[in-house]
Amino acid sequence: MNNPKYQPPKSDHNNSNTSNIDNSKIAKENINQNQVPIDKYQDKHSSKTNESKQEDFSSYVNSSILNTGNTDISVGIMDESGSFSPSFSSNIANIYRKIGYNATTGLIKNSFIHNPEFKGLMEGNSDIIKKLILVNNTDYLALGEIKFTMRNGTLESGTIVCTATFSINIINIQNVSVVKNISIPDINGNGVTESQAKEKAIQKLLYTYSNQYSSL
């Protein structure tokens, strides 16, 4: 009897290759499905970044102060404490009241002083003025700073000399521009105590401001 011819078992090599190709194709498709296009990711990321930059500035404004329809000016003067000085701000506001303007204090809150944008406002940055939306609150915004230094008197022993330096910018809210940049250096007051010398320096400064710089 003739034995059947030996047939070697069929190799699974081709099947294995086909399986590997199929698996690779499936994996690639899964990866593609999970990928987010770069441009879509960037748009989404950019949108979130822009939203975070859009700060609400209304919280820095005292909304109870409103434009009266007359010529309004709101005053804020910082002292060495790094906050608005209610007393000195009122002193400057009173000068404007005496010449017929409707003058207020406290329109810009102290919390804004610590915002990086405050320096720009002091310098009359138009973008920041627009962000604060002050047209319904005032016509002019007067922002300034006063500093004091003390030293011993040289002409009279036992006396104190206080030197006041003062700067202020007057911002026209309607035109979004600085209309006056005022600097008054070295106003001296003498006294036997620091508080007395400081008070005399303040009075001299207010007199100078009233007579030389108070027009808008």
Integer CA distances (angstroms), 57 to 63, 174, 204, in order? 12, 18, 36
Integer CA distances (angstroms), 79 to 116, 144, 147, 209, in order? 18, 9, 6, 17
pLDDT tens digits for range 171-196: 999 999 999 999 999 999 999 999 99
Which pLDDT value is given to residue 10? 52
pLDDT tens digits for range 33-77: 545 443 444 444 444 444 445 678 899 999 999 999 899 999 999
pLDDT tens digits for range 77-120: 999 999 999 999 999 999 999 999 999 999 999 999 999 999 99
- Pick 181 or 6 by higher pLDDT: 181
Which pLDDT value is given to residue 93? 98
216 DSSP assignment: -
Which pLDDT value is given to residue 7? 54
pLDDT tens digits for range 109-150: 999 999 999 999 998 899 999 999 999 999 999 999 999 999
Judging by beta carbons within 10 Å of its beta carbon (0-12, 13-18, 19+), is residue 180 exposed, middle or buried?
middle
**Beta-ladder partners of 148:** 164
Confidence (pTM): 0.73
Residue 169 has pLDDT above 50, yes or no: yes
Q: Which two tokens stand for residue 202?
A: 């303040």
The helix-helix angle for 194-212 and 86-98 (nearest 10°) equals 30
